[in-house]
Amino acid sequence: MAKVTIDKDVLNIDLSLLDSVLAFHGSFHIPLSHVTNAYVSDLEDLELQYDLKGTNWGLWKSVGVFANPEGLIFVDVGQGDCLVVETRGERFPRIAVQLSEGDPNALAHEIMRAIPDSGPVD
């Protein structure tokens, strides 16, 4: 699970200690100018094909770097909806995390509103 916050012009994705260990990766601090999209998905829709580095317990929990039809994706997801953030100019073009608290749909809209020059979001 992750805690996602917006601090000025940076999107912070802080993984729990356990998930950081399972994923062999720490937290993310992404400039909002590098974020291109944010939306809600579930684990099955991510179409994970290859576990490149991390831990995969099927539908119970997947944490780490995976490949899917669209390229590399960092995943910290279990059952239920997750937040997917698409980026440009970052190590991972897509990051999917399950939130420790809050509504992923509301957070996706908040991120889209915070992206520079993204225009109005309904």
Query: Phi/psi at 90 (nearest 5 deg)?
Result: -115, 165
- The separation between CA 26 and the C-alpha centre of its own chain, rounded to angstroms, equals 13
Q: In whole angstroms, what is the distance from residue 95 CA to residue 93 CA? A: 7
103 contacts: CB under 8 Å, gap ≥ 6: none
Residue 2 is predicted with a pLDDT of 80
Q: In whole angstroms, what is the distance from residue 71 CA to residue 116 CA? A: 25
Please report, in tens digits, the pLDDT of each residue of the chain (122 residues total).
Answer: 788 888 989 999 888 655 554 445 568 889 999 999 999 988 777 767 655 665 555 555 667 788 878 778 888 887 778 899 999 988 889 998 888 888 898 999 999 988 877 556 65
Q: In whole angstroms, what is the distance from residue 79 CA to residue 24 CA? A: 21
* C-alpha radius of gyration, the chain, whole number: 13
Domain boundaries, the chain: 2-114
Residue 52 is predicted with a pLDDT of 62
Contact at 8 Å (CB) between 107 and 121? Answer: no
Residue 77 is predicted with a pLDDT of 81
Residue 61 is predicted with a pLDDT of 64
The SS3 of residue 49 is: coil
Residue 76 is predicted with a pLDDT of 81
